[in-house]
Structure 1
Amino acid sequence: MKYTNITTVTDFKIIGFPGLPPEYYGLVSFILFVVFLAILLGNLFIIVVIISERTLHKSTYLIFFHLAMSDILFGTVTLPKIIARYWWNDMLSSFRACFTQMYFIHSLGAIHSLIFLMMALDRFVAIWFPFKYPTLFTNTVISVACSLCWVFTFIRMMGIVLHASTLPYCDRNTVMQCFCDLVSVTDLGCGSDVAYVKWVAFANAMITLLVPLTFIIVSYFSIIIAVLKMSLKDRHNKVLSTCGPQLFVTCLYYLPRCFIYITNNLGFKFSLDAGVIITMLYSLIPATVNPVIYCFKTMEIKQALMRRFMNRKISTVLKSDCKQNIS
C-alpha cells in the first residue's frame, strides 16, 4: 500500500481488547465502570480526609494528596471512553480528542513517577536523617516541589505530543488499545519521520521511568537496611510491612511500562490481547490500590479516622441522653 505525506485521518477507532467476543462487552464495561468508581471514590476519600484533618497537614500527606489527585485524573482521562466503547459501541475518537487524551495520559504518568520519587525521598530522609527532616521537608517545600512536578511535566509532554501530531496519518486509524497512547498511535503514522519520533518518545520515557525507579529501589533497600539495624522488633515489622506493599506497587507501575517501551522499540511483537491486558493492568491497578497501600495502612490516617468516628459516636450518645433528660 502506498502512503502519502498528508494526514487523511480525521478520527481514530478505539478497538479496546481486540479478541474480546461481543457477548462479553457488557461484562467488561461493568468491570471497568466498577474500577473507575473504585479509583474515583477511594482517592477522593483520601483527599477529603487529608484536607479535613489538621493532624495530617504534613509533608508526607501532601505527597499522598498529589498522588490521589493524579490517580483520579488518570482514571477520568482513560476509563470513560473505553467504557463507552463497550457500553454504547462508541469507538470513534476525533484526531484532536485522541491527541488530547494522549497528552494527559503521558503527562499524568510522568507526574505519577515523580510523585513516587518524592515519596521515596521523603521516607529516605526521614529514616536516615531524622533531625534534618523537619527543616528539609516542610509543607511549603513539598507544595512547591509537587507543583513544579505538575507544571514542568505538562510543559515537557506538550513538546512530545506535538512532535507526534506532526506525523502524517494516512489510511490507517485503528488503535489496538483501550486509549490513545503514544506507542499505539504513532504506529499508525506514515512517512520517514516515524522512527525518529518514536526514538525521541522512547528516550523521554526511559528517562522519566528509569531515573526515578533507580533512586526508588536504592532508597527503599537503604530504608530496609536502616530498619533492620534498629533494636525494636515491632518497629521492624511495621516499617517492613509498609515498605513491602509500596515496593510491590512501585515495581508493578514501572517494570511493565519499561518492558512495553523496550520491546516495542526492539521490534519484539507479542499478541495484541496480551499487550492490551498488560497495559491496562499496570495503568489501573496502582491507581486502584494506592489508597489502601499508601493511606489506609498508614497509622496516622487510621488514628484520625478512628478519632473522627469516636467523636461522632460520643456526640450521638450525648444528643440521645439530652433528649431523654428533656422528655
Structure 2
Amino acid sequence: MEQANQTQTTVKEFFIVNFPGLDFQYYKLMGVIFFLIYVTTVVGNSLLVALFFIERRLQKPMYIVMLSLALSDIGFCTVALPKVIGRYWLDDGAIPFHICFFQRFLIHYFGTLNSLILLAMSLDRYLAICFPLRYPTLMTNRTMGALTGFSWVSAAVSPAISVGISTPMPFCGPNRIIHCYCDTMSIISLVCADARQILSVSTGLAMFVLLVPLILILSSYISIIVAVLKVADAQGRQKTFSTCATQVCIISIYYLPRFGVYLSSLVSYINVNPDLRISLTLFYSLFPPLLNPLIYCYRTTEIKDILSKWFCRRNAISQTPIVTTVSK
C-alpha cells in the first residue's frame, strides 16, 4: 500500500479495445450485429414491461419477478452495448476515467441483480409447485415486491465495495482495456501497484454473489423435481420438467461460463485467448437477456392469450371496411 500512496494516477481516460484480434474490415459488421442484439433485447423486454402495466391480470407475484428481470436486462444492455456499438461504428473506444468506473459498477450491479432475481424466481416456482395450497398466502404481491425490492437494493453492495477499494489505486501506465466494457478484472490489471489483495477481495465477492444464489436455485429445482415425481401424473411431470429444463438451461448459460472466466483469471497456468474470453463474457451477458422474454414470459399461457387477442383485435380493425356516406 505504500507503493500505491507514492504513485499518482496519471490516466485520464481508458481505451476499450474490444476484440483485439478482429480485423478492421469487420468493424461495421460487428457494429450491426451488436446494434441488432441491443434493439431486439430492449424491444422484447420493454414489451413485457408494457404488458405488465397494461394488463391487470398479470399483476401477480410470478410476473412481478419477471418484470424485475426484464428491467434488469434492459439496464445491463443499455450500460454495456452503446459503447461497443460506438467502438465499431465510429471507431471511438475512449472512455473517461470516472465514467469507466461508473460503468464497471453498473455492469457488476446488474450482473448481481440478475443472480438475485433468478433466485427469487426459483423460490416462487418452488412455493407454487411444492406448496400449491399455501402458495396464495405465502407468496403475495407484497411479499414478491419486498423480495425484488431487496434484490435491487442489496445488489449494489458487492460492486460498491469492489469499486470503492480499487478507485484510490494508482493508474499511471497502460490504459487499454482488453474487453468490450469496463470490468473489474480488466481494470485491476492496469493498476501500477500490487493489486493482489484487491483482486482477491473482488473475486471473493463475485464468487459469493454467484455461488450462494446458484446453490439455493439448484436446491429449489431439485426439490421441485422430487415433489413432482412423488405426486404428479405423467402429463404434469412432462410439463413441469419442460419448464424446469428450459430455466436450468438459461441458468447454466448464465453461471457456468462466468465461473470459467473468473477461475481462468486466477489460475496462472490457464492461459485463455483474449478473444475467447471476451466471447464467453458476451455470451453469458447478452444471450440470456435476449432469450429471457421468450423463455420466461412468451411461453406462459396468459401472455400468449393477451398477445393473440391484441393481434386479432388489430387485424379485425384493419380489415373493417370503411363506410362513407355521400350527402345529396
Pairwise CA distance, 1:323: 4.2
2:254 matches 1:253: yes
**Per the alignment, in what secondary structure is the counterpart of residue 155 of structure 2?**
helix
Secondary structure at the aligned position of 1:196 is classed as helix
Structure 2 match to 1:226: 227
Tell me the SS of whatever aligns to 1:270.
Answer: coil
Unaligned runs of 5+ in 2: none
- Could you tell me whether the CA contact under 8 Å between 1:242 and 1:297 is conserved in 2? no
Q: Is the 8 A contact 1:42 1:291 kept in 2?
A: yes
Contact 2:173–2:192 (8 Å) recurs in 1: no
Match in the other structure for 1:70? 72
Number of the residue aligned with 2:25: 23
Distance apart, 1:312 and its partner CA:
4.7
In structure 2, what is the equivalent of residue 106 of structure 1?
108
Instruction: Name which of 39, 42, 45 aligns with 2:41.
Output: 39
Deviates more, 1:157-166 or 1:6-15: 157-166
Name the residue aligned to 1:296. Answer: 298
**Aligned residue number for residue 54 of structure 1:** 56
Contact 1:47 1:65 in 2 (8 A): yes
Aligned counterparts, 1:77-92, within 5 A: 77-92=79-94
Correspondence 1:197-208 to 2 at 5 A: 197-208=198-209
Partner in structure 1 of residue 284 of structure 2: 282
Name the structure 2 match of 1:116: 118
Q: For 2:156, what is the secondary structure of its paired residue?
A: helix
- Cα distance in 2 for partners of 1:221, 1:323 equals 61
In structure 2, distance between residues paired with 1:246 and 1:283:
16
2:274 to 272, 275, 278: 272
Give the deviation of 1:325 after TM superposition: 11
Distance (whole Å) between structure 1 residues aligned to residue 265 and residue 214 of structure 2: 20
Report if the CA contact (8 A) 2:61-2:140 is conserved. Answer: yes
Displacement of 1:190 in angstroms is 1.9
One-letter amino acid matched to 2:153: V
Contact 1:263/1:269, CA 8 A, preserved across alignment? yes
**Alpha-carbon distance in structure 1 between the residues aligned to 2:169 and 2:234:** 59
Alignment: residue pair count: 323
Closer, same or farther: CA 24–139 of 1 in aligned 2, 3 Å: same
Is the CA contact (8 Å cut-off) linking 1:55 and 1:304 kept in structure 2? no
Displacement, 1:316?
Answer: 6.3
1:70-111 per-residue CA deviation (whole Å, 9 max, x = no partner) reads 000000000000110010100111101100100000001000
User: After the TM superposition, which of the residue ranges 54-63 and 306-315 deviates more from structure 2?
Assistant: 306-315
Q: Describe the superposition over 1:98-156 as per-residue Cα deviations: whole angstroms up to 9, x where unpaired.
A: 00100000001000000000000100111111122111211111112211211122244
Instruction: Identify which range, 161-170 or 95-104, moves more after superposition.
Output: 161-170
Q: Which moved more, 1:261-270 or 1:274-283?
A: 261-270
Q: Which amino acid letter does the alignment assign opposite residue 258 of structure 2?
A: R
Q: CA offsets per residue over residues 200-245 of structure 1, 9 Å max, x none?
A: 1111111100011111112122222322334433322222222111
Aligned counterparts, 1:132-147, within 5 A: 132-147=134-149
Q: Could you tell me which residue of structure 2 aligns to residue 235 of structure 1?
A: 236
Q: Which moved more, 1:151-160 or 1:197-206?
A: 151-160
Distance 1:315 1:87 in 2: 41
Q: Secondary structure at the match of 2:27?
A: helix
Residue segments in structure 1 that go unaligned for 5+ positions in a row: none
The aligned counterpart of 1:189 is: 191
- Normalised TM-score (structure 2): 0.93
Cα distance in 1 for residues equivalent to 2:181 and 2:154: 24
**Pairing 1:214–2:196 present:** no
Secondary structure of residue in 2 paired with 1:172:
coil
Greater shift, 23-32 or 139-148, is seen at: 139-148
> How high is the sequence identity, in percent, across the aligned residues?
38
**Matched residue SS, 1:64:** helix
Aligned-partner SS, 1:13? strand
* 2:10 paired residue number: 8
Contact 1:106-1:181 within 8 A present in 2 as well: yes
SS in 1 for 2:14: strand
- Cα 1:323–1:224 shift into 2, 3 Å: farther
Does the residue aligned with 2:290 lie in a helix, a strand or coil?
helix
Within 1, Cα distance between the matches of 2:111 and 2:325?
A: 58
Alpha-carbon distance in 1 for matches of 2:27, 2:233: 53
Residue 126 of structure 1 is matched in structure 2 by 128
